[in-house]
Amino acid sequence: MLTKGQIRNKILLRLRAQKEEERNRKSRIIKEKLFRGSVFRKAKAVMFYISFDGEVNTKEMIKEAQNLGKIVAVPVCTKNRIIRPSRLGKRGGFKKGPYRVYEPAIKRFISLEDLDFVIVPGVAFDKEGNRLGRGKGYYDRFLKQLSNRTTTVGLAFDFQILPSIPATTRDVGIQKVIFA
């Protein structure tokens, strides 16, 4: 069995090698599946990640969720290695935060209890809800703090879905993965 590091390296190479038009086509399919789901439709406050480095493109999803009147938050990584959700304004600017990930230029933090639905990034997922992130543990620490009523969903391309992912007691799974 491959180690987490080996899996991460393999999948990241595939993400970066995927053609832009294929990434956009699959991202649209994933967006349609997400927005059709009843739990997502009922959610008032949704947290997305801001995609980068070949991930499922969330930019159109964020715009559409705002147009539907949802409160949209995105992660901000703090100095003490914690993720905090920050509400996005309609015309908020972005700046690069830690690890080359964009975050809002103006931070408007909201409470974790206010989140109904969290879209979780991942390098790889399995059908049991295990996820493999980028190895820093930010999302594992974040997911541990969420209320049981908050739905957690990963977005992935089909090649990111593996039969199983090695998990430890520190790893926090998600409830569902939407992929194309």
Grade residue 106 by pLDDT with cuts at 50, 70 and 90: confident
In a domain, 113, yes or no: yes
In a domain, 170, yes or no: no
- Residue 100 scores a pLDDT above 80: no
Q: Alpha-carbon dihedral of residues 162, 164, 166, 172, nearest 10 degrees?
A: 90
Domain that holds residue 137: 4-165
How confident is the model over 24-43, as a mean pLDDT? 98
- Residue 46 scores a pLDDT above 80: yes
The CATH number of the domain holding residue 149 is 3.40.50.10420
Number of domains present in the structure of the chain: 1
**Residue 53 host element (H or E):** none
Tell me the pLDDT of the chain averaged across its residues: 94
- Measured from the Cβ of residue 13, the count of other Cβ atoms closer than 10 Å reads 11
3-state DSSP call for residue 120?
strand
Grade residue 108 by pLDDT with cuts at 50, 70 and 90: very high
